[in-house]
Amino acid sequence: MSTAAFSVDFKGYFKVARDNPSSKDWTNFELFVNIIDLKLFGQNKDLGEIGVSLNKDILSTGQIFPASAPNGAAKCRIATGVVFDMPQLGMKVFNKEPILLMNEHVTSIPPVDDPNGHALLFLLPLFDQANPSGKAVAHLTSLRYGADNYISQAEVKSFQEKQLG
């Protein structure tokens, strides 16, 4: 088994569909969210261009949980399934266990206030779409993200129309 570690910076967006909360009480509501679109692009000298998109075979579902006190923080989790397209390697890899985006310090909804987000994961296996029942072909060791600003429709469009090498 040979291993190599790669670190890649991605740029792009994700889009969240949010239900109406069951109540406006900050300490007592039920509120579900789904990620319904996601496009990220990065590049690495060994892996080539990488495009990340939602895995259309599964739902990326989540929930915002109420705070325990009126001035406390709410919490958010979204269990995300994506596909990493690496055309230079001729390979698309995907996760079976969710990539868990989470935020323990939600102070407003939508929680677009998290510049230092990270996914909760540990050596998360990634599988080859061409051999989905085979062994993991890679492991995701870390995923950090910022979810702290909106982008314009023109920027969204340019990510959507982007073609990999």
Residues in contact with its own copies by CB under 8 A are 1-3, 22, 28-30, 63, 65-66, 75, 77, 79, 97-98, 100, 102, 104, 120-123, 125, 136, 139
The least CB distance from residue 136 to its own copies, in Å, is 8
The least CB distance from residue 30 to its own copies, in Å, is 5
Name which of 123 and 154 has its Cβ closer to its own copies.
123
Cβ proximity of 15 and 54 under 8 Å: no
Name which of 51 and 60 has its Cβ closer to its own copies.
60
Name which of 91 and 121 has its Cβ closer to its own copies.
121
The least CB distance from residue 125 to its own copies, in Å, is 8
